[in-house]
């Protein structure tokens, strides 16, 4: 049974021009128009900008973009995915614009293994990298987690970056984990933005991999900002 929508956070941010925005982070409504907006910001910003997807050149391949579009659509409709969105906190409940989204998958050890896989060489490369890095640090084994939340991406639209919205998304992830009784939340933080946001929210770096080493191992090209990806964890008091 699906859970009722929940408002996780209401907060205000001040833009560089001095204007104040009232924002809220809430569970994503399963409304087709909202699903389309979340899909669009992930395709427009997350897919071309996320370090591993960019290194594998996913956005440059029509086949890979078609595959990942279908993957995101399926993900947005899966009951075990907890998706929250940030939007303007208007006087009504209408969502006119999606400013960002955070997606996690609730996973259990006895869940059936997903069938099939990607066919495009770009997304096969992403899978290869992600499978290898997940073995380099596995918080599920380290902390004996069951269930746990697996990160499926966090994105904030460029015009709203630098305002602390990413940090608020990470704080909300803590609240979600606490509600589910999960003591540890972890994710590979692949950009300066998410790394700094996580540091400000008190996340700990437990594993760090240099992009230069990943380039040699997987024959891809990362940018140099930041120089490494960090697996960071938040400890949630229950």
Host domain of residue 165: 7-110+119-171
Dump pLDDT digits (tens) for 19-48.
Answer: 999 999 999 999 999 999 999 999 999 999
Q: Which of 228, 237, 176, 165 is nearest to 200 (CA)?
A: 165
Degrees (nearest 5) of the Cα angle 80, 82, 87? 150
What strands, in cross-sheet order, belong to the sheet with 184-189?
Answer: 184-189, 228-235, 204-210
The count of domains in the chain is: 1
Q: What share of the chain has pLDDT > 70, as a percent?
A: 97
* Within a domain: 70: yes
* Within a domain: 207: no
* Within a domain: 222: no
* Within a domain: 148: yes
* Within a domain: 206: no
* Within a domain: 161: yes
* Within a domain: 93: yes
Q: Which of 165, 167, 134 is nearest to 151 (CA)?
A: 134
What are the helix and strand counts (H, E) for the chain? 9, 8
Q: Which CATH number covers residue 32? A: 3.40.630.30
3 band by pLDDT with thresholds 50, 70 and 90? low
* Within a domain: 192: no
1 band by pLDDT with thresholds 50, 70 and 90? very low
Dump pLDDT digits (tens) for 72-111.
Answer: 999 999 999 999 999 999 866 778 899 999 999 999 999 9
What does the block give as tokens for 34? 């909202």
SS (H, E, C) 117-158: CCCCHHHHHHHHHHHHHHHHCCHHHHHCCCCEEEEEEEEECH
* Residue 2 scores a pLDDT above 60: no
Dump pLDDT digits (tens) for 145-201.
Answer: 999 999 999 999 999 999 999 999 999 999 999 999 999 999 999 999 999 999 999
């Amino acid at each position: 049974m699906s859970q009722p929508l929940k408002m996780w956070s209401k907060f205000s941010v001040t833009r560089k021009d001095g204007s104040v925005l009232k924002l809220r982070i809430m569970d994503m409504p399963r409304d087709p128009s909202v699903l389309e907006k979340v899909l669009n910001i992930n395709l427009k910003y997350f897919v071309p900008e996320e370090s591993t997807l960019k290194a594998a050149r996913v956005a440059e391949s029509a086949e890979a973009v078609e595959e990942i579009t279908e993957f995101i659509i399926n993900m947005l409709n899966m009951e075990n995915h907890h998706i929250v969105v940030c939007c303007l906190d208007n006087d009504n409940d209408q969502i006119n614009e999606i400013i960002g989204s955070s997606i996690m998958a609730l996973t259990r050890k006895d869940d059936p293994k997903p069938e099939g896989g990607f066919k495009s060489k770009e997304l096969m490369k992403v899978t290869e990298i992600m499978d290898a890095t997940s073995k380099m640090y596995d918080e599920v084994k380290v902390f004996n987690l069951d269930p746990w939340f697996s990160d499926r991406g966090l994105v904030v639209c460029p015009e709203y970056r630098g305002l602390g919205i990413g940090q608020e998304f990470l704080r909300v992830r803590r609240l979600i984990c606490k509600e589910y009784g999960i003591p540890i939340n972890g994710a590979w933080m692949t950009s300066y933005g998410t790394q700094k946001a996580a540091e400000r929210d008190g996340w700990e770096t437990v594993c760090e991999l240099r992009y230069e080493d990943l380039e040699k191992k997987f024959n891809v090209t990362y940018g140099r900002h930041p120089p490494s990806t960090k697996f960071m964890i938040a400890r949630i008091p229950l």
